[in-house]
Chain A
Amino acid sequence: MRKRTLNRGLAGFWWLTLAFLYLPLAIVVLFSFNSTNSAANFTSFSLRWYHRLLGNEQIISAFYNSLILAIVSSLVALVIGCLIGYGMYRHRHRRLGWLIVLIYLPIVLPDIVFGISEMAFFVQFNRLTGLLEPGLGTMIIAHVTFQIPFVALIVYSRFVGLDPSLFEAAKDLYASPFQRALHFLLPTLKPALISAFFLSFTLSIDDFVISFFTAGPESATLPIYIWGAIKKGVSPEINAIATLMIGAVALAAILSLLFNRQGRR
């Protein structure tokens, strides 16, 4: 009897927490369809902010910047992180403490310290050499830096989960390391690579602080644009942009669910 009350209480708490988690997002979505620029009163349904959004060149270019930044940085991080993950596995019996520390550093460093160090460094470097001017280039570098560890850890744990004798078998089967990589490593790694890319992509889209401090005049991403608009208080399209981003996230959630289902089958 008592257990049932507990469970019922827990279920209630669960739904309450879900409401807490989704309320702010729901409000943003709801008010993106508001015909007036007000956060307090919903007047009537309208698509005017979406129309304005489509006509706003800055938002469109911010959208492209976000996308390019996420795709390019994830690809670079995938290659580099994958190599590290493999190296860590292959040489796991050696003393690699320094490498572990190096890999955990980007994960544990507070965003703000991360962003400011990079900014100060890039500025100084730029002053001395004229290279690495703030812009998409520096942002990509910064993003790759915090994506590498996640890729490496995912790839590493995929290898650890494999039966070691598989590697022996592959060695017997394929003579050259290149063939081995092509026919054995890459196919086995595929799910890990996909989820690593996915995670890197999400991390990049989710980041604001580090992008903010490493951006240049032409490389504002959507979050940077939204931040500026909030700070200026002038852009009622924020709700609409945010809604589109929330929609993209919802889509990603559904995809990952389907993907998981398929993976298990």
Chain B
Amino acid sequence: MANTPLVTRRHAVVSETRHLLFSVMPGAVWIFVFLVLPSLYLMAVAFMSNGPYGLPELPLSLDAFKQLAGFGFLGWSPGNFYTLLRSLWQTLVSTALVIVVAYPIAYYITTCRAKLRPLMLLAVVVPSWTNQVIRAFGWMNLLAPGTPLSDAAQALGLIGQHMGLYPSNFAVTLGLVYNFLPFMVLPLYAAFEKLDTAQVQAAQDLYASPMRAFWHAVFPQTLPGLLAGTVLVAIPAFGMYVIPELLGGGKGMMLGNLVANQFAGGSNWPLGAAGALLMLLATFVGLFAMRRIGKRLGGGEEVVI
């Protein structure tokens, strides 16, 4: 008799577990089969050797990683290193620029009338609903030789005669900033909206200069939003494929292009897979670092999204 409640409880646990399985399993299995397995397969490809025509073959080898590091038939060559540096540099510069633009914008929206704010946010986000290929195409049209912007840049001596602003590394940076701006504005706006004004007021009384008031009272409060935005911008920017391909014109190759070329140009699957693995690694390191920083700053909040 005494064990009846136990049985019911166990029964309840079993049925709860069954409920959990039924509700969560279809999706979990789906993601596992169609994303985790493929990623694992891709990792395996990185450790295979390159067949005579670029397809992965056994035996296992570390050749792909050696090639990625620049060791090949010709001894060491810095090509891939350049690509990696360029990816890092573009990510860094575009993320910084995005922050510089998004920060005042997000603040400005919070100072506007409450009724206007959703409209303003929408105005920032709507361009990103169009396809990124279309957006890049718009910039191709704007920056090509002979367009007003290119003519102006020529007149200022920024680019050579007869040249256009596109294709160039500058066009890639611009494309990246354009592409990712909304990703930064949204989380920053959320942070500004939650700003504790009493604290800001106190700071204004405490510190004479508005600069110091900003630095000590406003900035720390917006940091979680800034970090979230940085994650949302930097990770996809680092792996960008479309923008360098369309706007870079052969000088702006980034890691995403190196990886894609090994598959879409049919030359070396293991090398492409190794590059993808590097990208994955960078992504997780970036996420982890952001989380750590976020925690240390005492945000305590979920930084990602």
Interface residue A265 (Cβ < 8 Å from any Cβ of B) = no
Interface residue A161 (Cβ < 8 Å from any Cβ of B) = no
Q: How far is the CA of A230 from the CA of B146 in the complex (A)?
A: 19
Interface residue B260 (Cβ < 8 Å from any Cβ of A) = yes
Q: Which of B126-134, B189-197, B217-225 contacts A (4 or more CB under 8 A)?
A: B126-134
Q: How far is the CA of A83 from the CA of B19 in the complex (A)?
A: 10
- Of A10, A80, A81, the contact of B111 (CB 8 Å cutoff): A10
0 or 1 for each of B32-66: is its CB under 8 Å from A? (1 = yes): 10111111011001000000000000000000000
Q: How far is the CA of A14 from the CA of B235 in the complex (A)?
A: 26
Residue numbers in B under 8 Å from A118 (CB-CB) = 34-35, 38
Q: Is the CB of B108 within 8 A of A14?
A: yes
Interface residue B88 (Cβ < 8 Å from any Cβ of A) = no
With contacts A117-B39, A252-B129 taken as known, whether A152 is within 8 angstroms of B27 at the C-beta atoms is yes
Q: How far is the CB of B201 from chain A (nearest CB, A)?
A: 14
Residue numbers in A under 8 Å from B305 (CB-CB) = 107, 153
Interface residue A262 (Cβ < 8 Å from any Cβ of B) = no
Q: Which of B1-9, B68-76, B77-85, B279-287 contacts A (4 or more CB under 8 A)?
A: B279-287
Residue among B16, B38, B120, B242 with max Cβ neighbours from chain A (10 Å): B38
Q: Is the CB of A90 within 8 A of B283?
A: no
Q: How far is the CB of B227 from chain A (nearest CB, A)?
A: 14
- Of A39, A113, A230, the contact of B279 (CB 8 Å cutoff): A113
Chain B interface extent, by class: 35 or more
Interface residue B92 (Cβ < 8 Å from any Cβ of A) = no
Interface residue A232 (Cβ < 8 Å from any Cβ of B) = no
| Nearest A residue to B239, CB-CB | A110
Q: How far is the CB of B205 from chain A (nearest CB, A)?
A: 16
The main secondary structure of chain B at its interface with chain A is helix
Q: Is the CB of B41 within 8 A of A112?
A: no
With contacts A110-B239, A242-B134 taken as known, whether A87 is within 8 angstroms of B41 at the C-beta atoms is no
- List residues of chain A with CB under 8 Å of any chain B CB: 7, 10-11, 13-14, 17-18, 20-25, 27-28, 31, 39-40, 80-81, 83-84, 86-88, 90-91, 94, 99, 102-114, 116-122, 124, 141-142, 144-145, 148-149, 152-153, 202, 205-209, 213, 222-223, 226-227, 230, 238-239, 242, 245-246, 249-250, 252-253, 256-257, 260
- List residues of chain B with CB under 8 Å of any chain A CB: 16, 19-20, 22-24, 26-28, 30-32, 34-39, 41-42, 45, 101, 104-105, 107-108, 111, 118-120, 122-124, 126-135, 137-142, 144, 146-147, 178, 181, 235-236, 238-239, 241-242, 246, 256, 259-260, 263-264, 269, 272-273, 276, 279-280, 283, 287, 304-305
Known pairs A142-B34, A252-B129. 15 more at Cβ < 8 A? A21-B178, A21-B181, A83-B27, A87-B20, A87-B24, A108-B283, A110-B236, A112-B239, A120-B41, A121-B34, A121-B42, A153-B305, A206-B129, A208-B132, A260-B118
